[in-house]
Amino acid sequence: ADCDADSTAAGHVSLVGAGPGDPGLLTLKGLRVLQEADVVIHDRLASAGVLELARRDAERIDVGKRPGAGTSQDAINALLVEHARRGRRVVRLKGGDPFIFGRGGEEIDALRAAGISFDVVPGITAAVAASASAAIPLTDRRHVHAVRLITGNDAEILDAFDFSDVAAGRETLAVYMGVAQLPALRARLLAAGVTPAMPVALIENASRAEQRVVATTAASLVAAADAHHVASPAIALVGSVAVNQTRST
């Protein structure tokens, strides 16, 4: 996606999806833009391997958000505008895809408001990478015909969803950023009628060398995560497509 702003904008910003972590999964366009950048403003999920592909003399600015810490979104927006107005080619490097739980929409709104030209380079999102690396199809005509991506970092957000299609076996559920709220997810799934035996795969560090896959069920979700010390970044895939998952750890 490209957007031309007015001629007062001297620089340009590219929002680039870094993918799930494996540098080989960065797109060719993402690689080209990264190697042309004067400054790379990156989050904490952009892997070291991907960052190493940037131009050697490019300035690197870590704006990663962490629970209770990190750079605010307003400050990130201001950095993008500031460096572009200095005539620099800016890459905003984001783990996964900029427009899937990446707050890319907020950033392009800020760029539009400031008259800064930008483009968006999509990346492989965590759900796609996790399912592929764990050999779990997100959709399979023998099992499900839909997939839903949700963020699970807030119990109130989980309460807002209707999981009846998951319970009926019509849908695969991919839960991002949900490690801290697994007890709430388990309760919500079971309350919606999801069978306790519904397969769940917890995939930690998808596509990276340290990837782990924990195969469990809706009922045993919390116990399995605790037993294996599952930590972020991790994604939960819930649904019958995970029934043949055998690479548990």
Q: pLDDT digits over 182-237, tens only?
A: 999 999 999 999 999 999 999 999 999 999 999 999 999 999 999 999 999 999 99
154 is catalytic: no
Residue among 2, 22, 38, 43 flagged as catalytic:
43
- Rounded CA-CA distance 46/189 in Å is 31
Per-residue pLDDT at 126 = 94
**Whole-number average pLDDT of the chain:** 91
For residue 153, pLDDT over 90 is answered with no
- Rounded CA-CA distance 51/142 in Å is 40
43 is catalytic: yes
pLDDT per residue over 80-135, tens digit each?
999 999 999 999 999 999 999 999 999 999 999 999 999 999 999 999 999 999 99
Residue among 65, 119, 154, 165 flagged as catalytic:
65
Per-residue pLDDT at 70 = 78
